[in-house]
A and B are shown apart, each in its own frame.
Chain A
Amino acid sequence: MIRTLTLFGLLLGFNVSAYAQGSTQDFSLIERGRYLVTLSDCAGCHTAPGGEPFAGGVALQTPFGTLVAPNITSDTDTGIGNWSDDEFVSALQEGRGRNGTRLYPAMPYTAYTKMSRDDILAMRAYLATVAPVHHKVIANQLPFPFNVRLAMMFWNWLNFTPGRFVADPQQTAEWNRGAFLVQGPGHCGTCHTAKTVLGGDKTDSPLTGATLQGWFAPNITANSHNGIGGWSKDDLIQYLKTGANKSTLASGPMAEAVTHSTSHMKDADIAAIATYLLGTGKGATDKPTPVAADDPSMKAGAAIYKDACAPCHRDNGQGDAQLFPRLAGSPLVQSDDPTTLGRVVLEGSRAVATASAPTAPAMPAFDWRLNDDQVAAVLTYIRNHWGNAAPAVTAATISKQRASLAESR
């Protein structure tokens, strides 16, 4: 026993990371950490498709330039093996990494700050059990002046409030668990909350939808027009668990979130998220006046829809559950921002496959078949038919999107 302690002390003296490795015997700590890593979807950015787990390499296109998620395996040279626990905790809670290096908020420390030190050390204990991979990643590929990390000091001062999650005693335990998961590890706002020009969260309208990486992450508050207010709790649970429910399927970045994170969450946690989200932003219904049916673009759109879309999405816009998304009454279809709609029509998209919904159906690309006017018309039509209402889509919007999609290929 004494010998063990001495050895422990020696190791601690020379290499702090060995402390974390020493804790690999604590199964329950590792298991808790593994689950928190899943909740936090670390793999979504830190595991490249087909790459080694957590060895980094996923490029994130931000409005300011490219950031690449670093290697977070315990490799001492290219990973985080040499980091102290304090540095690891600080990275997640304060956005300050090894030797105080300032992180960019593409790493959602603005959300992870809600997690406790114990939670974060559990995550570290798990990461220490993952095979270390020697894989050098140049994380900061931003142009000047954004590549100056010191600028983040100013940014944090403007946009970042560090602090642990504080439960609301007026709410149920389930609601509070959901709030913690959404605001903290789940970091839903990273995609779903609109950003200021500097890339900070617009704190007055959390989770009401935002555009990033060429997708529109929809409103996930309970707004009944373009949020998920029309979904039951079971609809939302099924969506997060399987990637599909009776009205839609996850694709694009949300497919990745379902694959790596939500489909592996405990049922109680998914239910807690549903309870919290369906209790947010209620009552705000800002349904615009629909574009008139006799508008020329509506007439053209109807004809294109009949020819190209109706075989799957059906004349009544109802689609087929778990196969072809329902367009009638769809919040995403009626979002103010048509980025996702335009992208899906131009480029196509494939739904996520999960163990309980393995089909992974796809929307084909129509960029070669429909011109900008036609895409705009059919989108305007689906946004303003079957009782839907949303601003018309212009050909200029589609033209711009077509160009940017071509560039990103």
Chain B
Amino acid sequence: MARKLPSKNVVVIGLGWTGSILSYELAKAGLDVVAIERGPWRDTATDFPPSYAQDELRYAVRLDLFLRPAQETLTFRNKADQTALPIRNFSGFLPGNGVGGAGIHWNGQTWRFLPTDFRLRSHLTERYGADMLPSDMTIQDWPVSYDDLEPYYDRFEKLCGTSGKAGNIKGTKQAGGNPFEGWRSSEYPTPPLKQGLGATLFADAARKLGHSPFPQPASNLSEAYTNPLGIRMGQCSYCGFCERFGCGNYSKASPQTCVLPALLRLPNFTAQTESEVLKINLDSTGKRATGVTYVDTSGNEWEQPADIVLLCAFSLFNVQLMLVSGIGQPYDPASGQGVVGRNYAYQTTSSVSLILKDKVLNPFIATGAHGMMIDDYNGDNFDHTNLGFVGGGYMGAGQTNARPIQTRPVPKGTPKWGAEWKKATAETYQHAFSLSTHGSSYSYRDCWLDLDPTYKDRLGRPLMRMTFDFHENELKMSAYLTERLAEIAKAMNPTEMQANPRKGPYDSTIYQTTHNTGGTVMGADPKTSVLNRYCQSWDVHNLFIPGGASVFPQNHGYNPTDTVGALAYWTSDAITQRYLKNPGPLV
């Protein structure tokens, strides 16, 4: 029996990027806010001190910052006719845990989606005709346009201090930036990071072949910066310990480095950590949320009543909480009816690895997000006529890390162990390089999330079940992009190269990305979406999912965080400027 706590104006479930942004904005607007976080408290100064934060074994191999499957996991299968089994070691994707969430362990790659991505189905139908799209592809237009979101992208990038070079400021093309990107209202807050030799060689080769390379936008700061909340960030030291690590140099943007110091000064904000929300509670009409019930580490259950509930957990767990709380109609792939769990999508990446024998690349001088990229083959930036697929992705030479345990490139044909392997790793380390593509993953009728009929979590709730596989469209896209990338790689005159296009079936034990999207999609039509254009539940007006990647109708050829952050600000404005004045459905 849950004990009832005094009511709050706002209860926030999960204190990652969206939770901390919404907490700050709403607390600053005067609301009494409590955030409930499943994992531990984490703070830059005490949890990521640079005296030991760069511990590859602890953080990258043993995954110290991530969710333990014993606490919560999901089941997985590729196809509806298979039996899903629980994931007992996260490896294909790595859900975060604790204050900061995925915003701690990300690389810092900070991309906006293309204007055409936001009206994907309309755009592709207009340009190529409806027959171009596979019949089971369930992509749809976003309920917001790029122009709607631009000011919010700008706000999130200024929060992060993102480093980069604009390619389009208010419609005017800028030399050195991404010529394909949507317009920006201003230049990046900080200039681009310095590039390594590998990225420079890639850019030269790409330019020679007629492409337009530009520095990857990075929330790993090229210089010290004070964000609009008055919080100071430091210059990146290129240590190469970003992905899977917290940044103790205050140079990678995270809720800890960009929001929490200001948020914690607000007396009307409190955080309840090590506490897992069991469900969102509804009143007898089922149309209004009354708060949440959570359980602490001692097993005590607490009811936290609130006027507004913000679901800010990691993408996959947003979907699970909606399903176990009975909010919205669960998706049924057989009939195509229902919405919660629909349009789960992911990412389709590939790589080209190369060895440049006569070059010393110093790959350890790295950040999670610097590198030179081209966007010529993303979205609909290129003509898809007769290609047999839609979609695309950015590609190029990132240099995220070359840490000693997990970076052991060797030439083809080297034994897997022994003296010869050791010799080859020593000889190859300074000369090996990897290029990659970061492709879209469109949504399909048979890729979805629902509750598992067999397996339960430690709290007795059904585990969420993921049914997902790559489709022919994505595999063709990946093959095409990887060929283009290999052409550029060849122009770098490598001693050895190998193209690795994405191959099916999807294997949940091989890491690709943690860009799990969809399941609580935002849209213009309640029949095909869970949320309206303000990330507000169609069914329960005082419940919002302010921009976790679960609201994406499909995934595009970019990393999700910039769009997640933009939607958080977009939703926050909708709540403070519209909802508070007249609580009710905003659409």
**Chain A residues engaging chain B, CB cutoff 8 angstroms:** 308, 311-312, 320-324, 348, 350, 353, 355-362, 364-366, 369
Residues of A within 8 A of B44 (CB): 361-362
Q: Count of B residues near A, CB < 8 Å?
A: 24
Q: Is the CB of B237 within 8 A of A366?
A: no
Shortest beta-carbon distance from B401 to chain A in Å: 15
Q: Is the CB of B49 within 8 A of A357?
A: no
Of B50, B224, B230, B237, the contact of A323 (CB 8 Å cutoff) = B224
Residues of B within 8 A of A353 (CB): 261, 265
Q: Is the CB of A359 within 8 A of B231?
A: yes
Q: Is the CB of B49 within 8 A of A323?
A: no
Shortest beta-carbon distance from B216 to chain A in Å: 22
Q: Is the CB of A322 within 8 A of B51?
A: no
Shortest beta-carbon distance from B301 to chain A in Å: 28
Instruction: Check if B91 is an interface residue, CB within 8 A of chain A.
Output: no
Shortest beta-carbon distance from B226 to chain A in Å: 7
**A207 CA to B254 CA, complexed, in Å:** 41
Q: Is the CB of A348 within 8 A of B49?
A: yes
Shortest beta-carbon distance from A260 to chain B in Å: 15
Residues of B within 8 A of A320 (CB): 224, 232, 234-235
Q: Is the CB of B234 within 8 A of A312?
A: yes
Q: List 9 A-B contacts (CB under 8 A).
A: A323-B232, A324-B234, A358-B229, A359-B250, A359-B261, A361-B44, A362-B45, A364-B51, A366-B51
Instruction: Check if B512 is an interface residue, CB within 8 A of chain A.
Output: no
8 nearest A-B residue pairs (beta carbon): A364-B49, A362-B45, A364-B51, A311-B237, A358-B261, A359-B232, A320-B224, A322-B232
**A191 CA to B265 CA, complexed, in Å:** 28
**A359 CA to B52 CA, complexed, in Å:** 21
**A369 CA to B231 CA, complexed, in Å:** 30
In the complex, the chain A residue whose C-beta lies closest to that of B227 is A359
Of A312, A355, A365, A369, the contact of B249 (CB 8 Å cutoff) = A312
Instruction: Check if B386 is an interface residue, CB within 8 A of chain A.
Output: no
**A308 CA to B250 CA, complexed, in Å:** 16
Known: A362-B45, A364-B50, A365-B51. A311 touches B239 (CB 8 A): yes
In the complex, the chain A residue whose C-beta lies closest to that of B235 is A320
Residues of A within 8 A of B250 (CB): 323, 359, 361
**A17 CA to B304 CA, complexed, in Å:** 45
Shortest beta-carbon distance from B365 to chain A in Å: 12
Of B50, B230, B237, the contact of A357 (CB 8 Å cutoff) = B230
Residues of B within 8 A of A356 (CB): 230
Instruction: Check if B262 is an interface residue, CB within 8 A of chain A.
Output: yes
Q: Is the CB of A358 within 8 A of B50?
A: no
Residues of A within 8 A of B297 (CB): none
Q: How many A-B residue pairs have CB under 8 A?
A: 64
Shortest beta-carbon distance from A143 to chain B in Å: 35
Instruction: Check if B248 is an interface residue, CB within 8 A of chain A.
Output: yes
Shortest beta-carbon distance from A192 to chain B in Å: 26
In the complex, the chain B residue whose C-beta lies closest to that of A356 is B230
Instruction: Check if B298 is an interface residue, CB within 8 A of chain A.
Output: no
In the complex, the chain B residue whose C-beta lies closest to that of A309 is B50
Instruction: Check if B46 is an interface residue, CB within 8 A of chain A.
Output: yes
Of B46, B229, B230, the contact of A362 (CB 8 Å cutoff) = B46
Known: A312-B249, A323-B224. A358 touches B265 (CB 8 A): yes
**Chain B residues engaging chain A, CB cutoff 8 angstroms:** 44-46, 49-52, 224, 226, 229-235, 237, 239, 248-250, 261-262, 265
| Interface residues of A, dominant DSSP | loop
Shortest beta-carbon distance from B148 to chain A in Å: 31
Residues of B within 8 A of A361 (CB): 44-45, 232, 250
Extra A-B contacts (8), CB below 8 Å, given A355-B230, A355-B265: A308-B51, A311-B237, A312-B50, A320-B232, A323-B233, A358-B230, A359-B230, A364-B50
Residues of A within 8 A of B234 (CB): 312, 320, 323-324
Residues of B within 8 A of A355 (CB): 230, 265
Shortest beta-carbon distance from B18 to chain A in Å: 21
Known: A311-B249, A323-B250. A362 touches B239 (CB 8 A): no
Residues of B within 8 A of A350 (CB): 45
**A259 CA to B239 CA, complexed, in Å:** 34
Residues of A within 8 A of B51 (CB): 308, 364-366, 369
Of B224, B231, B235, the contact of A358 (CB 8 Å cutoff) = B231
Q: Is the CB of A322 within 8 A of B235?
A: no
Shortest beta-carbon distance from A366 to chain B in Å: 6
In the complex, the chain B residue whose C-beta lies closest to that of A314 is B235
In the complex, the chain A residue whose C-beta lies closest to that of B237 is A311
In the complex, the chain A residue whose C-beta lies closest to that of B46 is A362
**A353 CA to B44 CA, complexed, in Å:** 14
Q: Is the CB of B239 within 8 A of A322?
A: no
Residues of A within 8 A of B249 (CB): 311-312
**A361 CA to B44 CA, complexed, in Å:** 8
In the complex, the chain A residue whose C-beta lies closest to that of B53 is A364
Known: A359-B231, A360-B45. A321 touches B224 (CB 8 A): yes
Most chain A Cβ neighbours within 10 Å, of B45, B50, B250: B45
Residues of B within 8 A of A358 (CB): 229-231, 261-262, 265
Residues of B within 8 A of A357 (CB): 230, 232
**A350 CA to B52 CA, complexed, in Å:** 17
**A359 CA to B43 CA, complexed, in Å:** 11
Residues of B within 8 A of A359 (CB): 230-232, 250, 261
In the complex, the chain B residue whose C-beta lies closest to that of A359 is B232
**A350 CA to B47 CA, complexed, in Å:** 13
Q: Is the CB of A360 within 8 A of B261?
A: yes
**A188 CA to B549 CA, complexed, in Å:** 54
Most chain A Cβ neighbours within 10 Å, of B44, B234, B249, B261: B234
Shortest beta-carbon distance from A349 to chain B in Å: 10
Most chain B Cβ neighbours within 10 Å, of A353, A356, A357, A364: A364
Residues of B within 8 A of A321 (CB): 224, 232
Residues of B within 8 A of A360 (CB): 45, 261
**A355 CA to B51 CA, complexed, in Å:** 28
**A323 CA to B235 CA, complexed, in Å:** 10
In the complex, the chain A residue whose C-beta lies closest to that of B236 is A311
Shortest beta-carbon distance from B338 to chain A in Å: 45
In the complex, the chain A residue whose C-beta lies closest to that of B230 is A358
Most chain B Cβ neighbours within 10 Å, of A308, A362, A369: A362
Residues of B within 8 A of A311 (CB): 50, 237, 239, 249
Residues of B within 8 A of A366 (CB): 51
Residues of B within 8 A of A348 (CB): 49
Residues of A within 8 A of B233 (CB): 323
Shortest beta-carbon distance from B524 to chain A in Å: 40
In the complex, the chain B residue whose C-beta lies closest to that of A354 is B265
Shortest beta-carbon distance from B245 to chain A in Å: 14
Most chain B Cβ neighbours within 10 Å, of A311, A350, A356, A357: A311
Residues of A within 8 A of B230 (CB): 355-359
**A358 CA to B28 CA, complexed, in Å:** 15
In the complex, the chain A residue whose C-beta lies closest to that of B226 is A322
In the complex, the chain B residue whose C-beta lies closest to that of A242 is B230
Residues of A within 8 A of B45 (CB): 350, 360-362, 364
Shortest beta-carbon distance from B130 to chain A in Å: 53
**A312 CA to B231 CA, complexed, in Å:** 17
In the complex, the chain A residue whose C-beta lies closest to that of B262 is A358
Shortest beta-carbon distance from B39 to chain A in Å: 21
**A405 CA to B156 CA, complexed, in Å:** 43
**A252 CA to B250 CA, complexed, in Å:** 21
Of A322, A324, A365, the contact of B49 (CB 8 Å cutoff) = A365
Residues of A within 8 A of B265 (CB): 353, 355, 358
**A223 CA to B42 CA, complexed, in Å:** 41
**A221 CA to B293 CA, complexed, in Å:** 58
Shortest beta-carbon distance from A355 to chain B in Å: 7
**A356 CA to B226 CA, complexed, in Å:** 11
**A308 CA to B231 CA, complexed, in Å:** 24
In the complex, the chain B residue whose C-beta lies closest to that of A358 is B261
Shortest beta-carbon distance from B24 to chain A in Å: 11
**A323 CA to B44 CA, complexed, in Å:** 13
Residues of B within 8 A of A323 (CB): 224, 232-234, 250
Residues of B within 8 A of A365 (CB): 49, 51
In the complex, the chain B residue whose C-beta lies closest to that of A324 is B234
